[in-house]
A and B are shown apart, each in its own frame.
Chain A
Amino acid sequence: MFAVFNLIPFNAVLPPLAAVSLWYAVPLIVSVSLVCAATRHEELGPILNHAVRFGAWIVVFMAVVMAVLWLMGKLV
């Protein structure tokens, strides 16, 4: 499961994240995904499963919004 982290080019990703204070989104994503998942299930397994999927969904959504904003900045 953690092998996926090897695919992330940290040297390229970390400075832009720090530049826009996006690190502050990480605790929020963890908290929101865990709480939302826990309000939809009662057992730990499904809660964690749902939280991981929901967290990934939020990250992808944020990435898409960032890409759109970056593109708009380039075009305008």
Chain B
Amino acid sequence: MSVSRGWKPTVRIVLSNKFEKMAKVLIPDAAGSDAPGDAVVIELKQPWLAGILAWAIPGLGHIYQGRTGKGLLFFICILGTFIYGLYLGGGKVVYAAVPWEQQFRWQYFCQLGVGLPATPMLVQRQRMLRDEPLLWNGFMAPPRNGPVDWKDDSGHMSKQPNELAKWTVELHPFFEIGTVYTVIAGLLNVLVICDAVAGPLIIKPQTKKENEAAKSTKPDGSS
């Protein structure tokens, strides 16, 4: 039996049959003990499938692996953050820019980390590229280029250079806050995907005793 040592957990892939892959991760228990009897054993069912599921819907990969508590935590936290950011930004902060219409939007790559909930932006982008009518009342559609009229709270009319400028002025500061929320939700899901594929990242500093033992052990394994 392998036991985690130092900064990273030991991952052992066990091929039980031709079709099923099962990875086992042994991590220290709550008290920090990684002795074989104390260590927590996590069975990572089909790690790569779980990783894809974790990307598609945050937390689904963990639920598939039977790690339901963590799966629900990820589902609520990440989707909650994404949806709240979308709400703050009036549903306009998640979009994939069309190259010749708007400036490059790097946030889109981070937002895509949330998986399927962010994919409508790709559909809308494709439809705009093909000059087809937008779906879902323009939800997650890229902003159109060209001047647009905008009326502020005092009723004063002004002309904005494009739809993105209008959204930024109209929703300020929520356009920025919503963008930050959705970007962070996507980035957090990258951590979750790694957790579904390889198990938790244990940060357990080596003790003085372990350091001395490591120093006295030669590279070929003999002491």
Contact = CB atoms under 8 A, between A and B. Distances in A.
Nearest 4 interchain pairs by C-beta: A39-B195, A31-B77, A39-B191, A35-B188
A24 B29 CA distance: 35
A22 B181 CA distance: 13
A35 B200 contact: no
A35 B203 contact: no
A35 B74 contact: yes
Interface of A: 21, 24, 27-28, 30-32, 34-36, 38-47
Contacts of B81: 27-28, 31
B69 A44 contact: yes
Interface in B49-90: 67, 69-70, 73-74, 77-78, 80-81, 84, 88
Contact of B200 (A32, A39, A44): A39
A27 B78 CA distance: 11
A69 B40 CA distance: 45
Contact of B30 (A31, A35, A38, A45): A45
21 contacts: A21-B177, A27-B80, A27-B81, A27-B84, A28-B181, A31-B77, A31-B185, A34-B77, A35-B78, A35-B188, A35-B192, A38-B70, A39-B191, A39-B201, A40-B200, A40-B203, A41-B200, A42-B27, A42-B200, A43-B29, A43-B40
A68 B73 CA distance: 35
A18 to B, nearest CB: 13
B180 interface: yes
User: Chain A interface secondary structure, helix, strand, loop or mixed?
Assistant: helix
B194 interface: yes
A34 B184 CA distance: 13
A35 B114 CA distance: 13
B173 interface: yes
A15 to B, nearest CB: 18
Contacts of A32: 184, 188
B42 interface: yes
Contact of A34 (B67, B73, B88): B73
